[in-house]
Chain A
Amino acid sequence: MPLRDKQSGKTLASAINQVTKSDYTWIKQSGKFRFDWDIESENEVYKIYLLDEEDDILGLMSLTDYPSEYRVHLNLIEVTTHQMGDQRTIDHIAGCLLAFGCQVAFNRGYYGFLSLQPKTKLIGLYQERYGFCQFGRLLAVEGPSARFLIQKYLFDEEA
């Protein structure tokens, strides 16, 4: 179930790629993101966009690789302001980015291990929504739960 048009329920062709230098300028000038993504530029930052609207970034994700700990850490996912809450026209933007983070973790041989250190009060919500498990104060998806996210958000029907 990749990106989906909220009204029609149709699947929307999209892509996820690393953010380029010129994207950072666009992100800042567009006013569509509230977090400071220039700070994240020292990490691995990915963007998601519709294939037929490449200039319009729908969401961003910042990751840090911890090879010695066999994990990728999720610093931040932010969906563009006009796709938040009731006004959104596209579903699953954050889910697709999160699943892509798991895919990165699989590709690097970390068994899909993606960690997150959320606010304490959000732990239950993230567990329920995305299948995170608790590792002390941190949360993580790995193995079957990471695989579930990838299959739910990134795979097309025949895969």
Chain B
Amino acid sequence: MKKHEDLYEELRKSYSDEELADSLLFSVKLPKSEQRKVEEEFLRLRLERMNEMSDEELISSDLFAFKLRLNAYFKKNRFDEAFTFAKQLQKYIKLSRRSNAEIASNLGIHKTKLSRLVNDRENPNIELMYRLEEHSSKEIPAFYWWRIYARELEFKIRTDHEKKRLEASKVENPLDLKA
């Protein structure tokens, strides 16, 4: 079986290196002892890099990963219990590495209100979403928070049969459109 390098050399007869970089990326393996040294050196540099990462870098990276997960959720087009506004707000607070009290103060809301929001006992408003966008240094746009909440709300509206019945009982003389 041909190795990656052999195939690459074959392809170079038909394509330039630039063209190949657009369509082919591959890793090579060196002879065992040489490869071991390469891996040892890499691991040392990798650990060094991890140790020198600042809090700001760590938060920025976690926040971006959070954004990617939200994007993946939006693409799925259906509600998931793990993605309620309250749960995602809890996650946001955790990855910001700040206390609930600090976050409440940062957002200009009372800590009791924040507590009610993260415990799903109060609904968020658009003003809060704009504040969260600003708080995340604009990494998580306000409309992301809206999408999370809107999907949850739609699910609640569709599945809260008890409330539907209760409210229906308050309606008088509805349009009679039955055929």
| Chain A positions near chain B (C-beta within 8 angstroms) | 34-36, 39, 59, 69-71, 73-79, 83-86, 88, 93-95, 98, 103, 106-107, 109, 111-113, 115-119, 122, 125-126, 129, 135-138, 140, 142-143, 147, 150, 155, 159
Contacts and interface: CB of A to CB of B under 8 A. Distances in A.
B155 interface: no
B27 to A, nearest CB: 4
B147 to A, nearest CB: 11
A102 B129 CA distance: 28
Given A94-B24, A115-B42, A122-B17, A34 B7 contact: yes
Contacts of A143: 57, 60-61
Contacts of A88: 23
B46 A107 contact: no
B177 interface: no
B82 interface: no
A116 B43 CA distance: 13
A94 B65 contact: no
Interface of B: 1-2, 4-5, 7-8, 10-11, 14-15, 17-30, 38, 41-43, 45-46, 49-50, 53, 57-58, 60-61, 64-65, 68-69, 71
A83 B5 CA distance: 20
In the A-B complex, the 8 residue pairs with the closest CB atoms: A79-B23, A136-B41, A111-B61, A117-B27, A77-B25, A106-B65, A137-B38, A84-B23
Contact of B23 (A94, A111, A122, A135): A94
Given A103-B68, A138-B38, A111 B27 contact: no
Contacts of A71: 46
B17 A125 contact: yes
B19 A135 contact: no
Given A69-B43, A125-B18, A107 B24 contact: no
A131 to B, nearest CB: 12
Given A36-B1, A159-B71, A74 B64 contact: no
A151 B29 CA distance: 31
B27 A107 contact: no
A106 B61 contact: yes
Contacts of B26: 35, 75-78, 118
6 contacts: A85-B19, A95-B22, A118-B27, A119-B28, A135-B42, A147-B64
Contacts of A106: 61, 64-65, 68
A76 to B, nearest CB: 5
B135 to A, nearest CB: 19
Contacts of A142: 49
A63 to B, nearest CB: 10
Contact of A98 (B25, B38, B45): B25
A84 B27 contact: no
A91 to B, nearest CB: 8
